[in-house]
A and B are shown apart, each in its own frame.
Chain A
Amino acid sequence: MSFRTKVFLSITATVVLAVWVVAAVVSTLVSQSFERRDDQRTATAVGQVQREIGRRGAEVARRVEAVAESEAVQRLAVNPGDTSQYFATAQTLAAEQSLDFLEVVGPDGAIISSAEWPARFGYKEDWLTQSADWNMQPAFLKKEDLSDGSALGLIAVRSVKAGDGMLYVAGGQRLDKEFLDSLQATDGVGLQIYRNFEPRESPGPAAVLVDDVRREPRELKRVTDAASITAIPLEGRDKQLLAILLVENSRTELVSLKRYIQGTAAAVGVAGVLLGLMLSFWTAARVTRPLRDLASSVRDVAVGKWDTRAKVWSSDEVGQLARVFNAMTEQLVEQRDRMIQAERVAAWRELARRLAHELKNPLFPLQITIENLQRSREMAPEQFDEVFRESTSTLLAELGHLKTIIGRFSDFAKMPAPELEPVDVNQVAREVIQLFEAQLRAPGRPPVETKLQLGADAGQVPADPDQLRRALRNLVLNALDAMPQGGALTVRTSRHDGKVALEVSDTGEGLTPEECDRLFTPYYTTKQHGTGLGLAIVQSVVSDHKGTITVQSEPGKGTTFRIELKVTM
């Protein structure tokens, strides 16, 4: 995971978490506030309903008293004999007193006249005769049976003495939707009365609440997304559950506000993500650019650009790192320069040593020969002539030897630029091995087995054929020199990854790692009679062909040189 991604995720997670927490807290506080408001509204509405019921109850009681004191009822009380002529009295009196229900009931509990259900005259209302002190009792809720169903009424009863018995006047008003509509409505609060003798509400939260209150008559509350509903049981005289007042507080505002909060939180979250994205880019740019510069500088150093310097962007840890890196590269350059200088000195010393060694060998015979020639002037002319011939012959030979030595050094100094042309690598390998065949088969020569493992796909490479042969020849010579007791010489060719490999392996004593490190240094040799230029020439040729040469060797297990040349330059 990149640093930028990590920064982005960190910022995004922080912003989203913070927004979520804030939204949750605000949402909870808002919900609590609304619930307190709903509770207050519900309490207000319930109080209003109860006050209105009380007020109407008192009004109903007053009107029923007026009916009880009316002339018609008093006349009936005085002469309660034939009550048939009072059959329609209740309707008239109810209309006069604006009562929805009115029944005049005789001492035996039989209805004499009924306003709400005129046909019920003669039917019994025994509950009226079971209390003797109706005139002291306030209005109460009662289920009123009607011809077309039932209704909930606020009923008051008053009794009038009629002979030895009592006449009862029971009247009241409906407690229905109109009653609720007459109340001063509170915004967002809906009132409904469920009558316990009606079919149950259609399925819904209110119906569930009604069922709960019917099972256990007590105030209950139910909250849904749409509304919070409070159910208050309304009981009659005998504590029977007659109706349930449903106070519904709309939660539309709360839901809208919650949605607004959620929407805002989502918007802020998205903005946070975008901000995180931008910050991550910005932060990453600020933090990773110096690091990337530093990494680039490290890579440059790795490829040998020792003078590379990292840009110091800041004074923080990254800046300190850049400064330390720069100090390190400066030290490395200094060390490299010192090493190069030391190596140059060493090389010059080696060259001087080698030159002194190479030149000293032929110079000593030249000196002896010349001294011998000087002494031979004293000799007889015949002897002098012989000595002169021998001496001049020796001098020429040694001078030739010196010329050869100088030629080798000259050749190394004057390596020509390669003239590239398509060269069949396998063909070159065969020609070089063939060149050594005679030498290998010379009598007294330790047996060396040659193996040609030429890859069929090796093909051609752009190369200078003479220089390539020379390089391969040097490697073969080096291998043969490494096997003074004989062994196996293997030449392999192969092709892979756009390169052609040319390997020369011997089964000699092998080289130490230190020897391997210095192997291609000019004038370095592990042999008694080498110039130390053979492998240096090979490396020079390979380098001029943009190729690489490597060596693998372990003491006692032989050595393998591997040249890799590009198929295309």
Chain B
Amino acid sequence: MELSNADGRGGSALSMPIAETLVRWNSRGEMEPVLAVAWQHDPDYKRWRFSLRPKVTFHDGEALTGASAAPALLAALKPKYSDVSIETGGQAVEVKAEHPMPDLLDVLALPGAAIFRKSDANALIGTGPFRVTASEPGRHLTLASFDDYWGGRPYLDAVAIEFGTGRGHADLFDIPVGPARRILPEGLATWSSAPRTLVAITASNADPALLQALALAIDRGPIGNVLAQHNGEAAFALLPHWLSGYAFLFQSTPDVPRAKQMVSQLRRAPLSLSYPANDLFLRSVAERVALNARDAGIAIQPMPGGNGNLRLVEFPLESEDAAHELLRIAPQSNPPDLTRAESLYQLERTLLDEHRIIPLVHLRETYGIAPRVHFQKPGADLFELHLEDAWVDQRAAP
């Protein structure tokens, strides 16, 4: 199967596992085993013990053991738990630290905690259903099915992925956000993820009151409907509603008169809104924001690249862990306990009230799917499109 990625945006919704984690969240929000079949911890969450799945081998044939998994695990955990240490013995892995690690499973479920090894010839040797056969960073990646995959060989024999090209003859291709969507041929099958990329304005050096007025002045609906061509949803919260469950509580409508009134009482400082150069969608968003701001009397100069005092930033979700994603969007030096939904809401409310970040739109990822490509469980997971569930009908025309 050939796969293309036109603008490099997204791609996070496409699951083509090469390396796997010990655990993962399923679509029901439950933690389920992957490479670890069992785990337990002491009452203080300072010592965790995992039992690795037996008879799992890496793509190069080496068996998955505690010793072979430990380097990747240690590298993944060190950034969060500086005093972490790992002891291994056979298929057992023991993770220890001086401080409690109650959220260790959440961390281990993240893609960054995948278990992989490196060799001189291959930088990514995992245990997933696909193995890397050739790669040229930023241009293309070729995968082949891993026949000895512990979960069973995938349907696809090989996957060729081209980056930065048009659709061409690809069986699966990403549909960029924005006007390009309208040129799709009629009847084309598509798959859209749940909104999973937040586009927001972050402020590094601006009057919070001015930012509050700006937030009131922005009409988010047209950004999702027109600029994103219905490929996004107006965002009033940092986390999408499907992830947090409370985003509707932040919903509001533009209030330009009030914004004007607020601006009239402020010292007007010129603002610049920078966006990644060559990103047409974010450029159009920046210009729309500047237009809305002008209606409220706020002068904003869109600026490609550079360092504006306002920045247009994308925050793609990498997991279905709401707390983790919220902390990714707005890192906290001393994060509160976010295991409860109320505390998560309170943190987000606090963050939004500070007006350091103004959510604009949550974007979906959409892929066009050639008629000969089929998925075993289409629509079962709106977070990721699993390539290991896909197969190609060789009889159909490409």
Q: A87-B179, A88-B179, A147-B291 are in contact. Are A122 and B229 (CB under 8 A)?
A: no
Which of B73-81, B94-102, B144-152, B220-228 lies at the binding interface? B220-228
- Please report the C-alpha to C-alpha distance between residue A421 and residue B288 in the assembled complex, in whole angstroms: 132
Contacts of B227 in A (CB 8 A): 87
The interface bits of chain B over 229-244 (1 if a CB of A lies within 8 angstroms of the residue's CB, else 0) are: 1100000000000000
Query: By the criterion CB–CB under 8 Å, are B226 and A87 in contact?
Result: yes
The interface bits of chain A over 75-98 (1 if a CB of B lies within 8 angstroms of the residue's CB, else 0) are: 000000000110110000000000
Contacts of A120 in B (CB 8 A): 291
Tell me how far the C-beta of A115 lies from the nearest C-beta in chain B, rounded to whole angstroms.
Answer: 13
Q: Interface on chain A toward B: helix, strand, loop, or mixed SS?
A: loop
Query: By the criterion CB–CB under 8 Å, are A122 and B287 in contact?
Result: no
Query: By the criterion CB–CB under 8 Å, are B287 and A121 in contact?
Result: no
Number of interface residues of B (CB under 8 A): 16
Tell me how far the C-beta of B178 lies from the nearest C-beta in chain A, rounded to whole angstroms.
Answer: 8
Which chain A residues in 88-127 approach chain B with CB under 8 Å? 88, 117-123
Query: By the criterion CB–CB under 8 Å, are A87 and B288 in contact?
Result: no
The interface bits of chain B over 113-125 (1 if a CB of A lies within 8 angstroms of the residue's CB, else 0) are: 0000000000000
Query: By the criterion CB–CB under 8 Å, are A84 and B229 in contact?
Result: yes
Query: By the criterion CB–CB under 8 Å, are B284 and A118 in contact?
Result: yes
Contact of B229 among A85, A119, A121 (CB under 8 A): A85
- Please report the C-alpha to C-alpha distance between residue A123 and residue B229 in the assembled complex, in whole angstroms: 18
Q: A85-B181, A121-B222 are in contact. List 7 more A-B contacts (CB 8 A).
A: A85-B179, A87-B227, A117-B287, A117-B291, A120-B291, A122-B219, A147-B302
Query: By the criterion CB–CB under 8 Å, are B287 and A119 in contact?
Result: yes
Tell me how far the C-beta of B244 lies from the nearest C-beta in chain A, rounded to whole angstroms.
Answer: 27
- Please report the C-alpha to C-alpha distance between residue A118 and residue B226 in the assembled complex, in whole angstroms: 11
Which chain A residues in 115-142 approach chain B with CB under 8 Å? 117-123
Contacts of B181 in A (CB 8 A): 85
Which chain A residues in 37-95 approach chain B with CB under 8 Å? 84-85, 87-88
Tell me how far the C-beta of B108 lies from the nearest C-beta in chain A, rounded to whole angstroms.
Answer: 42
Tell me how far the C-beta of A88 lies from the nearest C-beta in chain B, rounded to whole angstroms.
Answer: 4
Tell me how far the C-beta of A124 lies from the nearest C-beta in chain B, rounded to whole angstroms.
Answer: 12
Query: By the criterion CB–CB under 8 Å, are B290 and A122 in contact?
Result: no
Q: A118-B287, A119-B284, A119-B291 are in contact. Are A85 and B222 (CB under 8 A)?
A: no
**B28 in the interface (beta carbon within 8 A):** no
Tell me how far the C-beta of A129 lies from the nearest C-beta in chain B, rounded to whole angstroms.
Answer: 20
**B267 in the interface (beta carbon within 8 A):** no
By Cβ-Cβ distance, the 8 closest A-B pairs, closest first, are: A119-B287, A85-B182, A88-B179, A119-B288, A84-B226, A119-B291, A87-B226, A84-B225
Contacts of A85 in B (CB 8 A): 179, 181-182, 229
Residue of A nearest to B291 (CB): A119
- Please report the C-alpha to C-alpha distance between residue A123 and residue B222 in the assembled complex, in whole angstroms: 11
- Please report the C-alpha to C-alpha distance between residue A373 and residue B370 in the assembled complex, in whole angstroms: 204
- Please report the C-alpha to C-alpha distance between residue A123 and residue B219 in the assembled complex, in whole angstroms: 11
- Please report the C-alpha to C-alpha distance between residue A85 and residue B219 in the assembled complex, in whole angstroms: 18
Residue of A nearest to B224 (CB): A84
| A to B CB contacts below 8 Å, 7 in the list | A84-B229, A85-B181, A85-B182, A117-B287, A119-B287, A119-B291, A121-B222
- Please report the C-alpha to C-alpha distance between residue A119 and residue B219 in the assembled complex, in whole angstroms: 12
Tell me how far the C-beta of A126 lies from the nearest C-beta in chain B, rounded to whole angstroms.
Answer: 16
Contact of A121 among B182, B226, B302 (CB under 8 A): B226
The interface bits of chain B over 75-111 (1 if a CB of A lies within 8 angstroms of the residue's CB, else 0) are: 0000000000000000000000000000000000000
Which chain B residues in 240-285 approach chain A with CB under 8 Å? 284
Contacts of B179 in A (CB 8 A): 85, 87-88
Contact of A147 among B219, B222, B226, B290 (CB under 8 A): B290
Residue of A nearest to B228 (CB): A84
- Please report the C-alpha to C-alpha distance between residue A119 and residue B286 in the assembled complex, in whole angstroms: 9
- Please report the C-alpha to C-alpha distance between residue A119 and residue B226 in the assembled complex, in whole angstroms: 10
Tell me how far the C-beta of A530 lies from the nearest C-beta in chain B, rounded to whole angstroms.
Answer: 132
Residue of B nearest to A85 (CB): B182
- Please report the C-alpha to C-alpha distance between residue A118 and residue B288 in the assembled complex, in whole angstroms: 8
Tell me how far the C-beta of A120 lies from the nearest C-beta in chain B, rounded to whole angstroms.
Answer: 6
Residue of B nearest to A88 (CB): B179
Tell me how far the C-beta of B29 lies from the nearest C-beta in chain A, rounded to whole angstroms.
Answer: 33
Residue of A nearest to B287 (CB): A119
- Please report the C-alpha to C-alpha distance between residue A123 and residue B181 in the assembled complex, in whole angstroms: 23
Which chain B residues in 170-196 approach chain A with CB under 8 Å? 179, 181-182
Contacts of B291 in A (CB 8 A): 117, 119-120, 123, 147
Contacts of A87 in B (CB 8 A): 179, 226-227, 229
Residue of A nearest to B288 (CB): A119
Contacts of A123 in B (CB 8 A): 291
Residue of B nearest to A112 (CB): B226
- Please report the C-alpha to C-alpha distance between residue A87 and residue B284 in the assembled complex, in whole angstroms: 11
Tell me how far the C-beta of B8 lies from the nearest C-beta in chain A, rounded to whole angstroms.
Answer: 20
- Please report the C-alpha to C-alpha distance between residue A276 and residue B160 in the assembled complex, in whole angstroms: 107
Which of B181, B222, B226, B284 has its CB near the most chain A CB atoms (within 10 A)? Answer: B226
- Please report the C-alpha to C-alpha distance between residue A84 and residue B222 in the assembled complex, in whole angstroms: 8
- Please report the C-alpha to C-alpha distance between residue A85 and residue B183 in the assembled complex, in whole angstroms: 9
- Please report the C-alpha to C-alpha distance between residue A85 and residue B229 in the assembled complex, in whole angstroms: 6
Tell me how far the C-beta of B384 lies from the nearest C-beta in chain A, rounded to whole angstroms.
Answer: 27
Which of A87, A117, A121, A147 has its CB near the most chain B CB atoms (within 10 A)? Answer: A87
- Please report the C-alpha to C-alpha distance between residue A156 and residue B39 in the assembled complex, in whole angstroms: 74
Tell me how far the C-beta of A149 lies from the nearest C-beta in chain B, rounded to whole angstroms.
Answer: 12
Which of A85, A119, A121, A147 has its CB near the most chain B CB atoms (within 10 A)? Answer: A119
Tell me how far the C-beta of B308 lies from the nearest C-beta in chain A, rounded to whole angstroms.
Answer: 16
Contacts of A88 in B (CB 8 A): 179
Contacts of B222 in A (CB 8 A): 84, 121-122
- Please report the C-alpha to C-alpha distance between residue A84 and residue B177 in the assembled complex, in whole angstroms: 13
Tell me how far the C-beta of A157 lies from the nearest C-beta in chain B, rounded to whole angstroms.
Answer: 22
Tell me how far the C-beta of B205 lies from the nearest C-beta in chain A, rounded to whole angstroms.
Answer: 23
Contacts of A84 in B (CB 8 A): 222, 225-226, 229-230
The interface bits of chain B over 200-228 (1 if a CB of A lies within 8 angstroms of the residue's CB, else 0) are: 00000000000000000001001001110
- Please report the C-alpha to C-alpha distance between residue A117 and residue B302 in the assembled complex, in whole angstroms: 13
Query: By the criterion CB–CB under 8 Å, are A147 and B230 in contact?
Result: no
- Please report the C-alpha to C-alpha distance between residue A333 and residue B226 in the assembled complex, in whole angstroms: 134
Residue of B nearest to A122 (CB): B222
Contacts of B287 in A (CB 8 A): 117-119, 147
- Please report the C-alpha to C-alpha distance between residue A504 and residue B179 in the assembled complex, in whole angstroms: 142
Tell me how far the C-beta of A90 lies from the nearest C-beta in chain B, rounded to whole angstroms.
Answer: 11
Residue of A nearest to B222 (CB): A122
Tell me how far the C-beta of A497 lies from the nearest C-beta in chain B, rounded to whole angstroms.
Answer: 100
- Please report the C-alpha to C-alpha distance between residue A213 and residue B203 in the assembled complex, in whole angstroms: 46
- Please report the C-alpha to C-alpha distance between residue A118 and residue B219 in the assembled complex, in whole angstroms: 15
Tell me how far the C-beta of A468 lies from the nearest C-beta in chain B, rounded to whole angstroms.
Answer: 120
Contacts of B182 in A (CB 8 A): 85
Which chain A residues in 320-352 approach chain B with CB under 8 Å? none
Contacts of A121 in B (CB 8 A): 222, 226
Which of B179, B182, B229, B290 has its CB near the most chain A CB atoms (within 10 A)? Answer: B179
- Please report the C-alpha to C-alpha distance between residue A120 and residue B182 in the assembled complex, in whole angstroms: 19
